[in-house]
């Protein structure tokens, strides 16, 4: 995972505090339950992104013409495939 558990937990605290201070939300549940749900959502999104990244990299490696990671051509193809795979999964 790209973020540690501690960083995700900290982010949930900062996010919830900011939303509450700006009056954008009014909690009807205990704030710990809300933070737990935010954390679960962030974790799921990070996992989804990692899985998508792995699929795209596998697809790029399967090409007979080997692309050098970081090259402009690789970056263009990566973005293209990432968007295609994301759309296939109903995310866009």
Residue 30 has pLDDT above 70, yes or no: yes
Domain boundaries, the chain: 5-88
pLDDT at residue 9 greater than cutoff 80: yes
Instruction: Give tens-digit pLDDT for 48-83.
Output: 999 999 999 999 999 888 888 989 999 999 999 999
Q: Note the pLDDT of residue 92.
A: 61
Find, among 5, 34, 4, the residue nearest to 19 by Cα: 34
What share of the chain has pLDDT > 70, as a percent?
A: 97
pTM: 0.77
- The alpha-helical segments, DSSP class H, found in 1-92 are 5-21, 31-61, 72-88
C-beta separation of 89 from 49 below 8 A: no
Neighbours of 39 (CB within 10 A): 17
């Amino acid at each position: 995972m790209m973020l540690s558990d501690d960083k995700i937990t900290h982010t949930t605290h900062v996010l919830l505090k900011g939303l509450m201070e700006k009056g954008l939300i009014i909690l009807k549940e205990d704030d710990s339950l809300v933070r737990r749900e935010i954390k679960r959502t962030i974790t799921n999104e990070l996992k989804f992104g990692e899985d998508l990244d792995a699929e795209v990299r596998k697809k790029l490696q399967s090409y007979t013409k080997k692309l050098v990671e970081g090259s402009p051509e690789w970056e263009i193809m990566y973005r293209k495939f990432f968007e295609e795979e994301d759309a296939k999964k109903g995310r866009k």
